[in-house]
Amino acid sequence: MTHKVYNFGAGPAMLPDEVVEATAQAVRDFDGMGLSLMEIGHRTPQFKAVLAEAQSLMKELLHVPEGYSVLFLGGGARLQFDMIPMNLLRHKAAYLDSGHWAHQAMDEARLWGEVVNVASSANDNYTYVPSQFSVPADADYLHITTNNTIYGTELRKDLDVGVPLVADMSSDILTRDIDVERYDMIYGGAQKNLSMAGTTFVIVRNDAVGRTGRKLPAMLDYAVHIAHQSMYNTPPMLPIYTALQTLRWVKAQGGVTEMERRAKRRAALLYAEVDRNKLFCGTARRDDRSLMNICFVMNKAYAHLADDFANFAAQRGIYAIKGHRSVGGFRASCYNAMPIEGVQALVDCMKEFETLHINN
Ligand SMILES: *Cc1c(COP(=O)(O)O)cnc(C)c1O
């Protein structure tokens, strides 16, 4: 299988060809068993090996230290918006309001205790990541969203704020080295940079859980999932298998360091064109520009050409670059699986469209 179109969708997103192929094969015949992965037990040695390798590769690639567990749960990143405060909020939690998802996470936390909004960029339509703020020393954690998928801003460093971090890394996991020690928890929906929809990765510090005194339903209790090593109930088997294939692919390509190098190359190429091309301009503040989701709009004088450009690009194999409705314009999501050739194809498109409409 080769991609005839370049999928710039924000998620569920593009996966490497090898990963799609391996998944298709496992659906037909898993591990030479004469059975589909969809019809075998999750406690078979064959599936247990899949889960164990996926967990250990997450730890290896992200340098997760001792004392943390890797879980693959159901319910999407959004279920974590509740599980986090249920499991970790004792007295007070701090949230950084850097985008729609960050805000949703904060709103859910309010159901479970006192929440402090340390800073917000909502008034500027989340065009930047607030950097001037202080975190109450008695907060149980600071929740951050490292990549704001909708607005194309990113916090590409590990903050040092005096309290443990909890981070939604749905759309930038496995694109840089993280100092995991600073985090009580890192989580995200798999469908952006790891797998198909259907599972949520959770990296959680074992001794951060079970300290609230709150009685929790078993399925919503990290301690239960940690004790059962992510096998308390039937886990999302196929999404976990696909995640394993992606993790093997990342390792074979050279790991997270290589993923970061490629991400920087892709982003530099596309932002350079956004800045050069007279038809377009970027929407996020330069210092906070995301390497993953590159957002741009038509310059005002050319706003009427937006639909034309979308069609023009689609005819050239550029798929799903329409921006989120709250930003408008275009969003090119360039996750790990996006080859530089895809970005080059988009850049060529932008150049060609410019020559059609501007007489230089
Ligand atoms: C997509 C996304 C979500 C929502 O994920 P679901 O798995 O659909 O719940 C949450 N946070 C961020 C940063 C996202 O990009």
| Domain residue extents for the chain | 17-253, 255-358
What pLDDT does 2 receive? 54
Q: Is 309 left (phi over 0), alpha (psi -120 to 50) or beta?
A: alpha
Q: Which helix (H) or strand (E) holds 204?
A: strand 200-205
Of the candidates 293, 284, 291, 287, the one whose C-alpha atom is nearest the C-alpha of residue 259 is 291
User: Which residues sit with their C-beta closer than 6 Å to ligand 1?
Assistant: 11, 76-78, 101, 145, 149, 168, 170-171, 189, 192
What pLDDT does 287 receive? 97
What pLDDT does 36 receive? 98
Report phi then psi at 296, rounded to 5: -150, 155
CATH architecture of 255-358: Alpha-Beta Complex (3.90)
- In total, the chain counts a number of residues equal to 360
Give the rounded percent of residues in the chain with a pLDDT score beyond 70: 99
Site of tokens 């930038």: 172
Q: Give the SS3 label for residue 115.
A: strand
Ligand 1, atom 12, lies closest to the CA of 170
What pLDDT does 300 receive? 95
Do the bridges between strand 153-154 and strand 147-148 make them parallel or antiparallel, or are there none, so unpaired? Answer: antiparallel
Report phi then psi at 186, rounded to 5: -130, 135
Any idea what the Cα angle at residue 46 is, between residues 40 and 52, rounded to 5°? 120
Give the whole-angstrom CA distance, residue 313 versus residue 320.
10
* DSSP class of 111: T
Got the DSSP string for 139-198? -S-EEEESEETTTTEE--S----SS-EEEE-TTTTTSS---GGGEEEEEEETTTTTSSTT
Angle between the N-to-C axes of helices 255-276 and 340-357, in degrees from 0 to 180, rounded to the nearest 10: 0
Q: Give the SS3 label for residue 60.
A: helix
Residue 149 CA: which ligand 1 atom is closest?
15
Which CATH number is correct for 17-253, 3.30.1330.10, 3.40.50.720, 3.40.640.10, 3.40.50.300? Answer: 3.40.640.10
Ligand 1, atom 14, lies closest to the CA of 170
Residue 150 CA: which ligand 1 atom is closest?
15
- How many angstroms separate the alpha carbon of residue 58 from the centre of ligand 1? 19
Q: Is 346 left (phi over 0), alpha (psi -120 to 50) or beta?
A: alpha
Of the candidates 68, 72, 71, 55, the one whose C-alpha atom is nearest the C-alpha of residue 181 is 68
Residues of the chain with pLDDT under 70: 1-3, 360
Q: Which of 192, 221, 288, 322 is catalytic?
A: 192
Any idea what the Cα angle at residue 171 is, between residues 170 and 173, rounded to 5°? 75
Q: Give the SS3 label for residue 352.
A: helix
Give the whole-angstrom CA distance, residue 232 versus residue 78.
20
What pLDDT does 360 receive? 58
Contact assessment for residue 129 and residue 148, using Cβ atoms and an 8 Å cutoff: yes
